[in-house]
Chain A
Amino acid sequence: GAGVSQSPSNKVTEKGKDVELRCDPISGHTALYWYRQSLGQGLEFLIYFQGNSAPDKSGLPSDRFSAERTGGSVSTLTIQRTQQEDSAVYLCASSLDAGGAKTQYFGPGTRLLVL
């Protein structure tokens, strides 16, 4: 079946602009995760959803970052007033649910460049 998809694949924006990144999880997966991968670095956890709820937002780096999920499916990560240090690859993953260490399947990522 279809895997996790993300859009856009690449985004170039100017400092100070807002951006929206989209994630479509695997159908039937109730848990959805956002990670950030800076150049040459590991994956940094940002936030996760179980259904439409985000029980833990502590990984979000600042209040310029927010995320929502509607209908238990698509999620949007919004970065307001982008800064150059926001440049990174933003990866989304989904799993059947968040309990019992279910395998997380990753999307291809959105490569964000803030000029």
Chain B
Amino acid sequence: GENVEQHPSTLSVQEGDSAVIKCTYSDSASNYFPWYKQELGKRPQLIIDIRSNVGEKKDQRIAVTLNKTAKHFSLHITETQPEDSAVYFCAASKGAGSYQLTFGKGTKLSVIP
């Protein structure tokens, strides 16, 4: 089955700096890669996703890049703010005909004011 590795497990950045979280996956058939943000005690919320027909997607301060050859994808947050502090999870699935999201173990991001 699919295996998703996520690094780093913890990340501290100064407010205004950029943060990068990286994930690798094992199943070359995976073609859908969402990122979820989970604040303490709250539900995971989708912040951005990417499908394998594109290499990069951007939404304001958040961007995701995908390298299908190397089987890795990354989340980039620019101009970080204290409210970006949370646990971020990457996930992978095979999309059509498949349903299961396989998650990484999460990255705890702390933005220091």
Contact = CB atoms under 8 A, between A and B. Distances in A.
Contact of B44 (A43, A48, A99): A43
Interface in A22-76: 31, 33, 35, 40-45, 48, 50, 56, 59
B73 to A, nearest CB: 14
A86 to B, nearest CB: 19
A43 B44 CA distance: 10
Nearest to B9: A40
Contact of A108 (B6, B42, B100): B42
Contacts of A43: 44, 89, 91, 101, 103
Given A42-B106, A56-B100, A101 B32 contact: yes
A106 B49 contact: no
B95 A33 contact: no
Contact of A106 (B45, B100, B105): B45
A42 B43 contact: no
A100 interface: yes
Contact of B99 (A42, A48, A107): A48
A91 B89 CA distance: 14
